[in-house]
Structure 1
Amino acid sequence: MPYDPETDFPEAWKLCKPFMLTDDHLLSIRNSMTRELLNGLGRDTHDRSSIPCYLSYVQHLPTGRERGRFLALEMWPTNCRIMLVKFGSEKDIYMSSKCVIVPHTIAASRGTTLFNFLAQNIAVFVREKKVEKDNLPMGIAFAFALNKLSLDVGILVSWTKGYGAQGAVGKNVVQLLRNALDEYKDISINLNSIINIAAGSLMALSWSQTNCKMGLIIGTVTNAAYVEQSVECEMYEGDASVPLMIINTEWNNFGSNGHLDFIRTEFDKIVDAESNNPGKRYYEKCISTLYLGELVRLIIVRLMNMGVIFREHNLDYMGIQWKMEMKSIMAIDSDPPDVYVKAQEVMDKFRMRNCQERDLATLRFICQTVSTRSAKLVAAGVACLINRMNYANISIAVDGGIYRLYPRYQEVLNKHAAALINPDLKFEITIAQDSPGVGAAIVAGLASSLNFRHLSKS
C-alpha cells in the first residue's frame, strides 16, 4: 500500500507543509506579480518595482524568412557557447557551436580577464570556421541581469552565483567584449546586439512558430521575456510608431518588496542567508535548480538530527552544503510507485546504503513537495504574463533541464497556469529545440539591417 505522508511520516509532513501552496496562495502571488509588472513598466514606479521590466529594444519578431550567416555567444552561469548560425531555406537552421567552460578563477577574477578569455575563444572559433574575415553580425544571449539602453548597449546589473568578475557591473557588456576582440587584428566581427536568455528563447521559437510570445527560463536561474505594447512602456523614448517591445522582466527578484514573505519557510531563509546574494532574488531562490537541492538537503538534515529518518547513517556527506543537486531530486522522483531503486542509488552517492523503504518514501515526498512548489510559483508568473498580453492563443518557449527532463514538473506547471489564466486564453509550453543563441543570431541579423538599426539609440 502507498504511504500516507501525514500519517506515516508526520515529522516530515509538518516540516514540508509550509511548502504546500494553496490556490489562494497562487492567486495572491499572481496578482502581486501583476502589480509589480505594471510598476516596472511605469516611469515613476520603475525604480521601486521588484520586477523591473527592462526594455530589450527588440521590436520586431522573426518572419521565418530571415536568411544568412550570423555569430552568437550564449553566456550562462555554468558555461558559454559560441555559435555560427546559418538560416537557409524555410524551417532550415544550420548551427555549429563550441561549448566553453569558464574556469572559476576567471569567472571570479576581473571583468577584463573574463572578456579577454571569451574573446580568445571566439577568435579560435571563427578561425576554425574560416569566417574570421567576414565581419558577420554577432549577438550575445546573456543570462545575467541587464539594463538595456539600446540594442547594443546592455549595462550589467549584477552577477549571479559562480560569477563575480570585478569591474564589469555597471558597464556595457557589448563594449567590454568589443574591447577584448579588438586585440585580435586578424579577425573582423560585427558585434551589434545583446539580449537576455529568455528573449533569445522567444526569438528562436518565433522563427518557426509565429504565435510565440513568451520566453521562459527555468534552470540554474529563472527569468521570462514577453511581448508588450510599446505605448505601455513608459521608460521607452524611441519610435512610438513601432507597436511591440520585447520586455525582459527579470522577475527573479520578485519578493524583495515583501510579496513572498507569507510563503517563505525557515529553510528558504537559511538558503538565502547562505547564498552569495542574501536579501535578493527571493523568487528565484524558491524556484531555480541551484537552490531546490539545498532546500531538500536542509530538510533531510533537520529530520536526521531529530532522529526520525536514516537513523543508522551519519551526516558525513549529507551535511555538506550544496551537495544535493537537482539531478538527484529528479532521479529520486523517477521511480514507479512503491519502487525506490533510483532513490537508493542517489543515497549510495551520499554513502548511505541499504536505507529503509520508509525513509526512501519520506525522501521522495520531500523532493516532490519542494519541486511542486517551484512549478506552482512559475505557473503564477506565467499566468501573470499570459493575462497581461491577452492574446487568444500563444506558444511559450521554455529552456532549462528541469522542464525538459522532469515530467511531474511539466504537469504541475501546466495545470496551475491553466487554472490561473483568463478562461478565454489558451497557451502551449514548447520545449525550445533551438537555443537562445539562435535568437541572439536572429537579433544580430535584424540589427544589421537598415530597417532595424534606426530604432536603437546611439
Structure 2
Amino acid sequence: MTDAIFQTLEKEFLLSKQQLEPIVNGFNQEYKTGLKTPSKGLATMIPSFVTKMPTGNETGSFLSLDLGGTNLRVAAVELKGAGKASVHELKRRPSVELKTGEGSVFFDWIADAINELITVEAKHLFSEAQVQGKEALSLGVCWSFPVDQTGVDRGTILRMGKGFTLQNTEGNDLADMFHDAFSRKGLNVKVTAILNDTVGTLVAHGYTNPACRIGLIFATGINAAYPEKIQNITKLDQSIRDKYPVNTEMLINTEIDIFGTDAYLPLNKYDIELDLSHNQPKFQLYEKMLSGAYMGELTRLAAMDFIKAGVLFEGQVPEGFGEAWSFPTMYMSTLENDDDPKRAKSLEVLSNFNCVNTPTVSDIAILTRICRIVSTRSASLAAVSIISLLDQQALLDNKDNEIVVGINGSTYEFYPHMDLRVRRALDEWYGKEISARINLEVASEGGSVGGALIAMLCQ
C-alpha cells in the first residue's frame, strides 16, 4: 500500500522534461512581455540602470547598506582586487517604534549607524579625510522594499510593507531621504546606487568571476537578474535608450518570483491547497511551488494523506501537525541530513509534535522520502529559471563561451543535496555534455559586496 501511495505522490511532484517544457516556454514569453510593460506597481523585468559589471580588479573601500524586513546591515567593504573582498559589518534591528514612526527619525537612526561604522568599527579602512568628512564616501543601498526606480541612484519610495509604516516617506525620493539625514548628522556620504539584492548578487559574483551572466537567489523566495541589451528594454523611453552606446547591457531584476500562471504551471492538489491557505492566493504561484518558505507546508500536506491512509504514525495525526504551516522547511532539512541509524535528530524534530506513539524508523523513512520528493521538484523548478535565462541570452549558441551562474541563498546552499539536484535537473534537460558547460557557483551576498561594487561602478 505504501508503494502505491508513493507512486501517486511521485506522479504529482516529479516533473519530466516534457512537463517542464511549457514552464520554460511560458517564462521565455514573460521575459519578452516584461521588457515592454512599464514597471509600475507590481512589475517584472525591472531595469536597474546599472550598465557596468566589475572586472575583478577593482580596489578601494566603499559603503553598502542592506535593509530587509528584520535587520539593517551597514558594511564597509574593502575591495582588494583579484576578485577578493573583506566585509566589516554592523547589524542593527529597528524597534517597532522606529518602523512605525516618523520617516526622518528612521533615516537619522540609519545615519547614526553609518557614522559609527566610519568613525569606530571600520575606521582603519578609510582615509583621515574620509573619516573627518572632508572627502565623500560612496554608498550602495540595497532596499528590499518597493521603489519606482528612475535612475541608478534615484527612486520613489512606495508603500513598504513587512511591518514598516514610516510617516512622510511614501512618494519621496529615497536618495533625498538619505542625504537629508546625512546632512543633519554631518556625514559626507553620497548614495551612488540603489539596488535590488538579486542585481547585487550578480555584480558581487561578477567580481569573483567576470564570466557570470546570471545572479540567482534561491532561499525563502526565488529571484534572478541578468544583463539585457538596452535596445531590447522597450519599456524604457527611446530618449533614455538613445543615451547609451549600441549593445550596452543593463542589469535586469526579473522578479521571477511572480512569473507563472495556472495556465502553464503544473499545480498539483497540494499546491492548490497551500495557495488557498495563504493570505495572498493566486500570487507568486511559481515561488510557492519551490522556495524555502513553502516546501515544509507542501511536505506536511502530503504527509497528511499518508497518515489518513494509515501508513504513517499509525494513522494518528500528531498534535499540532494538522495545523497549517506547522512543519517548516528546516525540519525537512534535518530529516534529509540525518544519517544516524537511530535517527536521533529526526526524532528531536518530531518531538515538536505530540505523537500518540514514538515515531518508528519506518515513520521517519516515509517522511524523509516525502521530503526528498518535494525538494527534488523544487530543484527542477529552480532549474527552469536558469534554463529560461540561458535561452533569453542565447548563451548556449556560442559553443566556446564559459557559462557561469552565481547562486546565493539558504535553500540552495544549505538544504541537503539541493545543489546536486539542480545540477541533475540541468543534466536531464540538456544532456550531460552541454550541461557540463554551465558552472553553478555559490555567490557572495549581494547586499554587502554587490552594494559596494555598484556604489563604486556608478560613482
Provide TM-score, normalisation by structure 1.
0.84
1:33-432 equivalences in 2 (<5 Å):
33-42=27-36, 45=37, 52-102=44-94, 115=107, 117-129=109-121, 130=123, 131=131, 133=133, 134-155=135-156, 162-165=162-165, 172-182=173-183, 184-236=184-236, 237-238=240-241, 239-241=243-245, 243-256=248-261, 258-260=263-265, 263-304=266-307, 307-311=310-314, 314-336=317-339, 340-352=343-355, 354-391=358-395, 392-420=401-429, 426-432=437-443
Judging changes above 3 Å, is the alpha-carbon distance between structure 1 residues 84 and 48 closer, same or farther for their aligned structure 2 residues? closer
1:230 aligned partner, one-letter code: I
SS, match of residue 293 in structure 1? helix
Percentage of matched positions with identical amino acids: 26
Is 2:38 the partner of 1:17? no
Aligned-pair CA distance for 1:442: 0.8
Alignment of 1:435-454 (within 5 A): 435-448=446-459
Partner Cα separation in structure 1 for residue 278 and residue 88 of structure 2: 36
CA distance in 1, matches of 2:5, 2:300: 15
Q: 1:370 and 1:102, CA in 2 relative to 1: closer, same or farther beyond 3 A?
A: farther
Q: Please say if residues 387 and 421 of structure 1, whose CA atoms lie closer than 8 Å, have aligned partners that are also in contact.
A: no
1:378 partner SS: helix
CA distance in 2 between counterparts of 1:121 and 1:320 reads 41
User: Does the 8 A contact of 2:260 with 2:284 survive in 1?
Assistant: yes
- Structure 2's unaligned 5+ residue stretches are 124-130, 396-400
CA positional deviation for 1:137: 0.4
Shift of 1:358: 2.2
Quote how far apart the aligned CAs of 1:48 are: 11
- What is the distance in 2 between the residues matched to 1:204 and 1:350? 42
Matched residue type, 1:223: N
Deviation at 1:9, TM superposition (A): 5.0
Could you say if the C-alpha distance between residues 445 and 334 of structure 1 is closer, same or farther in structure 2, counting changes exceeding 3 Å?
same
Spell out, residue by residue over 1:256-302, the C-alpha distance to the aligned partner (whole angstroms, 9 max, x if none). 47332xx2233323333333433211121122211212222233345
CA shift, 1:172, in A, is 4.2
- Using the alignment, how far apart are the partners of 1:50 and 1:34 within structure 2? 19
Secondary structure of the structure 2 residue equivalent to 1:57 = coil
Distance 1:111 1:326, change over 3 A: farther
CA distance in 2, matches of 1:69, 1:329: 41
Task: Provide, for residues 170-208 of structure 1, a one-character-per-residue CA deviation record: whole Å limited to 9, x for no partner.
Answer: 6644444444444x4232311221111111111111112
**Inter-CA distance 241–435: structure 2 relative to 1 (3 Å threshold):** closer
Opposite residue 149 of structure 1, the aligned amino acid is T
Return the offset for 1:437. Answer: 1.6
Counterpart amino acid of residue 73 in structure 2: R
Partners of 2:378 and 2:91 in 1: CA distance: 29
Question: Contact between 1:56 and 1:247, CA under 8 Å: does it hold in 2?
Answer: yes
Instruction: Give the Å deviation of 1:317.
Output: 2.8
State the 1:412 CA deviation: 1.6
Report deviation, 1:397. Answer: 1.1
Query: Is the deviation greater in 191-200 or in 129-138?
Result: 129-138
Amino acid in the other structure paired with 1:258: A
> Which AA in structure 2 matches 1:218?
F
Over aligned residue pairs, what C-alpha RMSD do you find?
Answer: 3.2
- What is the number of residues matched between the two proteins? 436
Change (3 A) 1:156 1:216: farther
Give how far 1:252 is off. Answer: 0.5
Which residue is 1:452 aligned to? none
Q: Is the 8 A contact 1:51 1:254 kept in 2?
A: no
Shift of 1:19: 2.0
CA distance in 1, matches of 2:250, 2:21: 27
Q: Distance in 1 between matches of 2:53 and 2:141?
A: 17
- Preserved CA contact (<8 Å) 2:69 2:163: yes
In the alignment, is the contact (CA less than 8 A) between 2:64 and 2:447 conserved in 1? no
TM-score normalised by L of structure 2 = 0.84
The CA deviation at 1:103 is 5.0
Change (3 A) 1:348 1:92: same
Q: Secondary structure at the match of 2:251?
A: strand
Where does structure 1 lack aligned partners over 5 or more consecutive residues? 1-6, 449-458
Equivalent residue, structure 2, for 1:453: none
Change (3 A) 1:100 1:54: same
Q: Give the drift of 1:112.
A: 6.2
**SS in structure 1 at match of 2:31:** helix
Cα distance in 2 for partners of 1:284, 1:142 equals: 21
Deviations 1:387-418 (A, max 9, x none): 22123322111111111123421112122234
Deviations 1:358-402 (A, max 9, x none): 221221122112211111111011111012212332211111111
Given that residues 218 and 411 in structure 2 are in contact (C-alpha distance below 8 angstroms), is that contact kept between their aligned partners in structure 1?
Answer: yes
Shift of 1:144: 4.3
Instruction: State the secondary structure of the residue aligned to 1:289.
Output: coil
Instruction: Call closer, same or farther: CA 1:312–1:385 in 2, change over 3 Å.
Output: closer
